[in-house]
Chain A
Amino acid sequence: MRRFEWTAALAAAAMVLLAGCGGQLAGGGGGTSSAPIVVDLIGTFSGQNADLGSWAWNGVKLAIDGANAKGGVNGRKITLQKYDDQGQPTVGTDLAQRAISDRATMVYGSDLSTVSLAMIPTLTSAKIPQITSGQAPAILAQGSSFIFLDSTTSAVFDQTLADYLVQKQHITSIAMVSNNDAYGKGEHDSFLAELTKLAVTPTVDKVVTPDQKDFTSVLTEVRATNPKALFIGAEEVETGLIAKQARSLGITATFTGGAPMGTPTYLQTAGADVAEGTIMTSPYLDNDANAKTRAFAAAYRKAYGQDPELHGAKAYDGMNVFIAAMRKAQPDLGGQRLVDAVRAIEYDGLLGHFKYDERGLGLHATQIGTIKAGKVTPI
């Protein structure tokens, strides 16, 4: 056994002590004072899904800057702190503790369902309201009154889509390909349930993995059933790959699915020719849809030099809901009071009409769109 030395031992001890110096026992969020209101954004800023965190940050920041420009909430400015959960649930729990130490009024996070799920117990017992972009059914199933979704669930998405495809367009020959991560599985189960309700059976129902690169064998089976539409339940890049390979294999079915198909990433990965004619359901389709979205897009472009898309719009709406709630709840922004206020108000945002129920779902409908000439347009 090699001897270990005090240099390193004391160095480690010193480091931990230094880091701990000035630590205080934490409390909950809110409180009444004229101190700035602290909002913690916990998102994925590294790794494969790093774009999700950036988009959320952009949207939330835009909303907060807008509110601060108008004097904040009752004279109090809102400050935004950014934390990277690295896509890891464990890091998420660390950051949830950090939010408590920060005495955050609320947490915006995470963009990934798994990380959001990890944070819920900690934030709920600390009575810190949490709003997330995740949409896994497990989130609402936690039964916490402190969790809110900034968009809607797979159930709502897929109900809208299934209704459109089957009832309006009379398409009943639909194949399904989805991946088996939290999002993909949620999409798969919801869409299948909706089809069943409408007495339609998918021609084929295949599952792939999120890391998969080659879908030839799955798509060959799909091709054999000659479907009119191919439902893809996966994230942006994988959806694009599946679509691209499907066309290479001679599948002519219309691609259809949820929000990921409305993003520029999908368009770019699949290629404009392949993506043409895709039918998707999304609460936010087009920056030019109405005056509100155009104003938002202009502000976004000015602040960040790029065009906004769904995730940014979601975050903008979600933050604005909370800002409105804060205005109602003030001067006391304590956890319970704030969540009550969120449920008491209604808000018309870019994505539609928000009214939160006890579970935490605020948006109850989405739109149908399609890709025409390389642009997402509502139908």
Chain B
Amino acid sequence: MIGLAQTIVGGLSMGAVYALVAMGFAIVYRTIGLVNFAHADVVMIGAYVTVTFYLTARLPFGVSLALAVGLTAVMGLAMERVLRPLEGRDLDLMLIGTIGFGIVLESVAILVWGSFGTAVPTPIPNVPLHVGGVIVTTYQLLVVAVSAVVMVVLFLFLDRTRLGTAMQAAAMDRVAATAMGVDVGAANALAFAIGSAIAAVAGALVGPLLYVSPGMGASIGIKGFAAAILGGFGSIPGAIVGGLIFGLIEAFSSGPLSAYADLITFVVFALAMMVRQTGIFGERTGDRA
């Protein structure tokens, strides 16, 4: 029983990170319809930038995080600008364009920071708390708390502000939105910027949990993507649920069948996709003749 609870705790804290990655991903998808394969590498850049400000420039973690968020948001804007000609035309090509971007980002990271990674100390003292036989560390709590705050802020933004509503409108129907005076190009750019910013937060948070290296995007990224899809592409609550589920699947399968964890995770994922193509919360869009 304790073992089960402990595993759940571990799964949820990684799951919160996957949820953040998935959310950043989902917001770009729902606004532009773009699957951004470079997203995982944006997470990595966010982690590196935070670490550079935190360890090298010795700025407080919060400030480093804010700077990283700003820089990656600008990077997101740049990516959107380059890929703009393809928007709404050939989705598959856009997907591949983002794969290319991802490769570029990883090479740039190696050139700037070297291929060696860095370990990052936690920004707050990482004290293990005993809660009924289960151990939760303070940093794990911080990760979950910050993720929750980001989720709530994103919700409020999309639902309650004009800018957010305009973005939703642009996502649903470009033409109608333009007719209503929404600048769709700006909405798309904003989505990219927000998505990248969230990625930076995920990267900064996950750094102290693991290890920051140019290749870190790979394993987090693919689970983040899969989480976003599992939850329903474009659905923000879906991304959160998907991320948590992935964290849990990973935690549970790494116990008894650790060696085959990846195999199980992705076969289950493939089967889930076949059963419900648009994910748990996804919208079914019919092909109208």
A contacts B directly (C-beta below 8 A): yes
- A169 on the interface (CB 8 Å rule)? no
- Are A180 and B254 interface neighbours, CB within 8 A? no
- A336 on the interface (CB 8 Å rule)? no
> Total contacts A to B, CB within 8 angstroms?
95
- Are B215 and A48 interface neighbours, CB within 8 A? yes
With A240-B119, A248-B128, A248-B135 known to touch, is A216 a contact of B6 (CB < 8 Å)?
Answer: yes
With A209-B261, A248-B126, A269-B211 known to touch, is A217 a contact of B116 (CB < 8 Å)?
Answer: no
With A214-B14, A220-B6, A250-B128 known to touch, is A208 a contact of B117 (CB < 8 Å)?
Answer: no
- B286 on the interface (CB 8 Å rule)? no
- Are B261 and A216 interface neighbours, CB within 8 A? no
- A271 on the interface (CB 8 Å rule)? yes
Interface residue tally of chain B, by bracket? 35 or more
Partner among B6, B213, B215, B259 whose Cβ is within 8 Å of the Cβ of A217: B6
- B279 on the interface (CB 8 Å rule)? no
- Nearest-CB residue, chain B, relative to A208: B258
Residues in chain A near residue B254, CB distance under 8 A: 208-209, 212, 214-215, 217-218
Residue from B114, B137, B211 with most neighbouring chain A CB atoms (10 Å): B211
Cβ distance A301 to chain B, nearest Cβ, rounded Å: 18
With A46-B115, A271-B119 known to touch, is A249 a contact of B258 (CB < 8 Å)?
Answer: no
Residues in chain A near residue B262, CB distance under 8 A: 209, 211
CA distance A281 to B251 in the complex (A): 31
- B210 on the interface (CB 8 Å rule)? yes
Count residues of A near B (Cβ-Cβ below 8 Å).
32
CA distance A267 to B126 in the complex (A): 17
- Are B210 and A213 interface neighbours, CB within 8 A? yes
**Interface 1/0 per residue, B197-241 and A, CB below 8 Å:** 000000000000111010100011000000000000000000000
Cβ distance B161 to chain A, nearest Cβ, rounded Å: 35
- B9 on the interface (CB 8 Å rule)? yes
- Are B135 and A250 interface neighbours, CB within 8 A? yes
- A221 on the interface (CB 8 Å rule)? yes
Residues in chain A near residue B9, CB distance under 8 A: 216
- A353 on the interface (CB 8 Å rule)? no
- A329 on the interface (CB 8 Å rule)? no
- A224 on the interface (CB 8 Å rule)? yes
- B7 on the interface (CB 8 Å rule)? yes
- Are A48 and B213 interface neighbours, CB within 8 A? yes
Interface of chain B residues 80 through 122 with chain A (CB within 8 A): 110, 114-119, 121
CA distance A51 to B106 in the complex (A): 17
Cβ distance A176 to chain B, nearest Cβ, rounded Å: 13
With A47-B215, A48-B215 known to touch, is A218 a contact of B128 (CB < 8 Å)?
Answer: no
With A47-B215, A50-B115, A207-B259 known to touch, is A224 a contact of B128 (CB < 8 Å)?
Answer: no
Residues in chain B near residue A324, CB distance under 8 A: none
Interface of chain B residues 256 through 276 with chain A (CB within 8 A): 258-259, 261-262
- B61 on the interface (CB 8 Å rule)? no
- B185 on the interface (CB 8 Å rule)? no
With A48-B213, A48-B215 known to touch, is A216 a contact of B126 (CB < 8 Å)?
Answer: no
- A206 on the interface (CB 8 Å rule)? yes
Partner among B121, B255, B259 whose Cβ is within 8 Å of the Cβ of A221: B255
Residues in chain B near residue A180, CB distance under 8 A: 259
Residues in chain A near residue B114, CB distance under 8 A: 50
Residues in chain B near residue A46, CB distance under 8 A: 110, 115
Cβ distance B115 to chain A, nearest Cβ, rounded Å: 4
Residue from B7, B119, B209, B250 with most neighbouring chain A CB atoms (10 Å): B119
- A268 on the interface (CB 8 Å rule)? yes
Interface of chain A residues 196 through 231 with chain B (CB within 8 A): 206-209, 211-218, 220-221, 224
Residues in chain A near residue B53, CB distance under 8 A: none
Residues in chain A near residue B181, CB distance under 8 A: none
- Are B7 and A220 interface neighbours, CB within 8 A? yes
- Are B10 and A214 interface neighbours, CB within 8 A? yes
Residues in chain B near residue A224, CB distance under 8 A: 3
Partner among A48, A207, A221 whose Cβ is within 8 Å of the Cβ of B3: A221
Residues in chain A near residue B119, CB distance under 8 A: 237, 240, 268-271
With A46-B115, A50-B116, A250-B128 known to touch, is A218 a contact of B255 (CB < 8 Å)?
Answer: yes
- A67 on the interface (CB 8 Å rule)? no
Cβ distance B13 to chain A, nearest Cβ, rounded Å: 8
- A241 on the interface (CB 8 Å rule)? yes
- Are A209 and B7 interface neighbours, CB within 8 A? no
**Interface 1/0 per residue, A9-52 and B, CB below 8 Å:** 00000000000000000000000000000000000011110110
Residues in chain A near residue B215, CB distance under 8 A: 47-48
With A180-B259, A220-B3, A241-B210 known to touch, is A214 a contact of B250 (CB < 8 Å)?
Answer: yes
**Interface 1/0 per residue, B1-23 and A, CB below 8 Å:** 01100110111011000000000
Residues in chain B near residue A270, CB distance under 8 A: 119
CA distance A46 to B109 in the complex (A): 12
List 17 other contacts, CB 8 Å, given A50-B110, A241-B210: A48-B115, A48-B213, A50-B116, A206-B258, A209-B261, A213-B219, A214-B11, A214-B247, A215-B254, A217-B254, A220-B2, A224-B3, A237-B119, A248-B126, A250-B130, A270-B119, A271-B121
- Pick 23 A–B contacts, CB within 8 A, sort by A: A45-B115, A46-B110, A50-B116, A207-B258, A207-B259, A208-B254, A209-B259, A211-B219, A211-B262, A213-B14, A214-B10, A214-B250, A216-B7, A216-B251, A217-B6, A218-B254, A218-B255, A220-B2, A220-B3, A220-B255, A241-B210, A249-B135, A268-B119
Binding site for A on B (CB under 8 A): 2-3, 6-7, 9-11, 13-14, 110, 114-119, 121, 126, 128, 130, 135, 137, 209-211, 213, 215, 219-220, 247, 250-252, 254-255, 258-259, 261-262
The 5 closest A-B pairs by CB, nearest first: A216-B10, A50-B115, A217-B255, A269-B119, A217-B7
